[in-house]
């Protein structure tokens, strides 16, 4: 491939696509669509639906099997090997067609916010010309869905992961924390009653589920709701915002 365009698509809602994203989808010679298996077939279907609103689903739309990260390896090593394997599968998939100069990938949310697609692209050899089309992020969609501002007046916001919150606790000097990629419900480890939480799963999608309130009062509800929704769909994308209560 001579060029690779990473297109932010929000959470799969066609109305989330910018005109820039639509143009890039229409112009791509080849669009790669990851297949994560039967349990996550909805993710591929949503990408296909978005593409179908812009161009035919023909031979220029190529699926590739996503590898599975090895859970037995140390986290960082497992992620590095996983990214190497994904880059290799991109390369293999582009060789299935003779016209793959301008390749595109549809990325959930925005390619620059807690997404590894850019890091995977760096592994390609030879490196293609890279273009990034920004998209709506889950964080924007979460605050919009709850109709709240991201930050307090004259205050900062820290964006982190569930893994870091569980391992290191609440960051010192922080009043507002946005938490992504939390498969362990790390908010359980925080002191009861000291925080307000705004949680959302599938934000911006038809399946959207929202819960908010004092953490001590809604913690169990979020955990049980998350388990039910993940079982129902076979996958879940969720995010939450935490804010210290006054006097905490």
In this structure, CATH architecture of domain 139-244: 2-Layer Sandwich (3.30)
Q: Which residues contact 38 (CB under 8 A, 6 or more apart)?
A: 234
Place of tokens 């669509």: 33
Asked: is 3-136 a CATH 3.40.1010.10 domain? The reply is: yes
Per-residue pLDDT of 37-50, as tens digits, reads 766 667 788 899 99
pLDDT at 146: 98
CA 244 to chain centre: 25
Q: Out of 1-10, 34-43, 46-55, 116-125, which region has the weakest mean confidence (pLDDT)? A: 34-43
The answer to whether residue 248 scores a pLDDT higher than 60 is: no
Mean pLDDT computed over 44-57: 92
Mean pLDDT computed over 194-223: 95
Mean pLDDT computed over 243-247: 83
Per-residue pLDDT of 95-110, as tens digits, reads 877 778 999 999 999 9
User: Which of 120, 143, 121 minimizes the C-alpha distance to 131?
Assistant: 121
Mean pLDDT computed over 65-94: 94
pLDDT at 40: 64
- Per the prediction, the chain carries an average pLDDT of 92
Strands (E), 110-194: 129-133, 158-161, 176-180
Domain(s) of CATH 3.40.1010.10: residues in the chain: 3-136
Per-residue pLDDT of 126-154, as tens digits, reads 999 999 999 999 999 999 999 999 999 98
Domain(s) of CATH 3.30.950.10: residues in the chain: 139-244
pLDDT at 192: 67
Mean pLDDT computed over 192-211: 92
């Amino acid at each position: 491939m001579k060029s690779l365009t990473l297109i932010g698509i929000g959470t799969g809602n066609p109305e989330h696509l910018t005109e820039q994203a639509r143009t890039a989808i229409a112009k791509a010679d080849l669009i790669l669509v990851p297949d994560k298996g039967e349990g996550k077939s909805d993710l591929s279907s949503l990408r296909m639906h978005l593409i179908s609103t812009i161009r035919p689903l023909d031979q220029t739309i190529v699926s590739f099997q996503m590898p599975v990260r090895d859970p037995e390896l140390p986290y960082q090593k497992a992620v590095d090997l996983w990214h190497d394997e994904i880059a290799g599968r991109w390369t293999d998939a582009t060789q299935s067609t003779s016209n793959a100069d301008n390749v595109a990938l549809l990325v959930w949310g925005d390619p620059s916010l807690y997404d590894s697609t850019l890091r995977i692209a760096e592994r390609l050899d030879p490196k293609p010309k890279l273009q990034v089309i920004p998209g709506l992020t889950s964080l924007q969609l979460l605050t919009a869905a709850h109709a709240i501002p991201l930050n307090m007046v004259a205050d900062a916001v820290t964006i982190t992961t569930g893994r870091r919150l569980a391992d290191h606790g609440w960051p010192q000097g922080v009043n507002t924390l946005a938490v992504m990629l939390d498969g362990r419900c790390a908010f359980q480890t925080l002191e009861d009653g000291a925080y307000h939480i705004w949680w959302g799963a599938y934000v911006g999608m038809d399946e959207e589920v929202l819960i908010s309130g004092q953490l001590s009062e809604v913690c169990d509800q979020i955990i049980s709701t998350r388990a039910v929704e993940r079982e129902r769909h076979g996958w879940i994308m969720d995010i939450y915002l935490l804010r210290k209560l006054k006097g905490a």
